Amino acid sequence: MRIRKASTQDAAAIARVHVNTWRTTYAGILPADFLAGLSYANSESNWSQALTADRPGESVFVAETDAGEIVGFANGAPERESDPLYRGEIYSIYLLAAYQRMGVGRRLFTALAQRLRQDGLESFLLWVLKDNLLARRFYESLGGTYLTEKTITIGETDLIEVSYGWRDIVDVTGEA
């Protein structure tokens, strides 16, 4: 398994992981008809745009098997809402269920944190659905501190998101 920076050629594979992980991760949290309606084509179009856009500081990493199959991704950049304490943000991290609990998610998370640090961002946060208990335990195991919560709407469903923060990115990267 290797972690590498994503390229524009990865859009379709990232889209496949994105849609499939949403369908498994959010089953029971989001309505089944909403999840069934997720489109690989729309997701691929969005990822193609994201991977070709010149967004300052944004990075996307993928987890790729030895056979060349992309099984996970993570992306992040400067924090989107001008938080005074947390300068970076992990926007998303998704990994196919068959590859969870093998250290791959931790490697994606660390690679992205290292990139944020290289970009001069010494702290970061992320948002996760409150009901996504597996992900929350994962972030807590990585030293994330619960910060706050907010209500968001996905489709027609109101949900609670909670944030976790890391005040010192070195706690994640291990680099002084």
Which option is the CATH number for 2-123: 3.40.605.10, 3.40.630.30, 3.40.220.10, 3.30.70.990?
A: 3.40.630.30
Distance linking the first and last C-alpha atoms of the chain? 26
pLDDT values of the chain reduced to their tens digit, one per residue, 176 residues: 999 999 999 999 999 999 999 999 999 999 999 999 999 999 999 999 999 987 778 899 999 999 999 999 999 998 988 888 899 999 999 999 999 999 999 999 999 999 999 998 999 999 999 999 999 999 999 999 999 999 999 989 999 999 999 998 877 777 65
Give the chain's radius of gyration (CA, Å): 16
Paired strand residues for 89: 77, 125
CA pair distance 151, 160, nearest whole angstrom: 5
Are 9 and 62 contacting, i.e. CB atoms less than 8 angstroms apart? Answer: no
CA pair distance 115, 107, nearest whole angstrom: 12
CA pair distance 132, 37, nearest whole angstrom: 20
Q: What is the pLDDT of residue 173?
A: 73
Q: What are phi and psi of 132, to 5 degrees?
A: -85, 75
For the range 50-58, what are the long-range contacts, defined as Cβ-Cβ under 8 Å and sequence gap of 24 or more? 50/75, 51/6, 51/7, 51/8, 51/10, 51/11, 51/14, 52/8, 57/119, 57/121
Q: What is the pTM of this model?
A: 0.92
Residue ranges per structural domain of the chain: 2-123
CA pair distance 102, 108, nearest whole angstrom: 12
